[in-house]
A = this chain, B = another copy of it.
């Protein structure tokens, strides 16, 4: 993990970086950590890891039985600060509502964070009970229309970098699991100017998304809608959805 830090050393708070590393060391596979395991996972010494865990415990972000440490719901405050403060999801909300009502599906605003798509705003419900579609949830960008829409705006070099060494997990029998198939989805999206994905993450569900840019051209996210596939051709769904998505796109462009 070599990182180029051209930041003046005197403006770098080592303790904060390590502390955040400790919080992120908790995950699915490691729901509870001891001082030693935390040290191993974060690459800091055991003494230090223990100090960070104790500090987090006294701040209320982790709890402990003396041996093991685990995160408390207080850490959710940190993520929630983003929703409270970010203007992007808030600006998108009324447009999402209009889309979800008109189309009868669920509308999302998503952004890219490193390699993942993160859903930061939502309106409307659908029969899709997939836990992936929760605010703050992150998914590999190739799995959802919003992700492919954003990838399609990147330069070939960035896309190559994104694809390199990536493992594709099949969520349905239709999930694109080869680099070529994923690349085709991205190319299709670029050519069309919108992304259309079917049954990649959930069976019988279709996603349509358009990338959202600032006036400067910079990508800030994507607006997407999830629709049930049954009883509707993809052409018909696109014809219904695209005008609304475009409308949101233009409105949001001037908002940023």
**How far apart are A176's CB and chain B's nearest CB, in angstroms?**
24
The one of B13, B80, B120 in contact with A136, judged by C-beta atoms closer than 8 angstroms, is B80
Q: Which of A30, A55, A56, A111 has the most CB of B within 10 A?
A: A55
Asked whether any CB of chain B lies closer than 8 Å to the CB of A104, the reply is no
Q: What residues on B are CB-neighbors of A87 within 8 Å?
A: 31, 70
Residue of B nearest to A93 (CB): B131
Contact assessment for A16 and B52 in the assembled complex, using a CB-CB cutoff below 8 Å: yes
**8 closest Cβ pairs, A-B complex:** A79-B79, A15-B15, A16-B19, A31-B85, A125-B125, A26-B85, A78-B78, A13-B55
Chain A interface size, as a band, is 35 or more
Asked whether any CB of chain B lies closer than 8 Å to the CB of A235, the reply is no
User: Which chain A residues numbered 40 to 71 have a C-beta less than 8 Å away from chain B?
Assistant: 50-52, 54-56, 58-61, 70-71
**How far apart are A131's CB and chain B's nearest CB, in angstroms?**
8
A51 to B11, CA, bound (A): 5
Contact assessment for A120 and B85 in the assembled complex, using a CB-CB cutoff below 8 Å: no
Contact assessment for A15 and B14 in the assembled complex, using a CB-CB cutoff below 8 Å: yes
Q: What residues on B are CB-neighbors of A19 within 8 Å?
A: 13, 15-16, 19-20
6 residue pairs bridging A and B, Cβ less than 8 Å apart: A16-B19, A20-B59, A31-B84, A72-B113, A75-B81, A77-B113
Residue of B nearest to A112 (CB): B73
Asked whether any CB of chain B lies closer than 8 Å to the CB of A129, the reply is yes
A59 to B27, CA, bound (A): 19
User: Which chain A residues numbered 110 to 148 have a C-beta less than 8 Å away from chain B?
Assistant: 111, 113-114, 118, 120, 122-127, 129, 134-138
Asked whether any CB of chain B lies closer than 8 Å to the CB of A24, the reply is yes
